[in-house]
Homo-oligomer: A and B are copies of this chain.
Amino acid sequence: MQPRSSKSAARSGELRSPQEYRAGADVFKALGHSSRLLIVDALTRGERCVAELTELIGCDTSTVSNHLAVLRNVGLVADERRGQQVFYRIAAPCVTKVFACLEEVRSAREKQR
Q: Does A91 contact B (CB under 8 A)?
A: yes
Looking at chain A's contact residues, the main secondary structure is helix
A78 proximal to B (CB < 8 A): yes
CB contact under 8 A between A28 and B25, given known A42-B12, A56-B8: no
- One digit per residue, 1 when the CB lies within 8 angstroms of any chain B CB and 0 when it does not, for chain A 56-81 equals 11110000000000000011101000
Known A-B contacts A4-B58, A105-B92; A15 and B32 likewise in contact (beta carbons under 8 Å): no
Q: Is the CB of A105 within 8 A of B27?
A: yes
Q: A24-B37, A34-B22 are in contact. Are A45 and B13 (CB under 8 A)?
A: yes
Given A12-B42, A108-B91, A109-B75, also A37-B21 (CB < 8 A): yes
Residues of A within 8 A of B (CB): 1-4, 8, 12-13, 15-16, 18, 21-38, 41-42, 45, 55-59, 74-76, 78, 91-95, 97-102, 104-106, 108-110, 112
Taking A15-B45, A78-B108 as known contacts, 6 extra A-B pairs with beta carbons closer than 8 A to each other, sorted by chain A number, are A1-B34, A1-B35, A8-B58, A12-B55, A21-B38, A25-B36
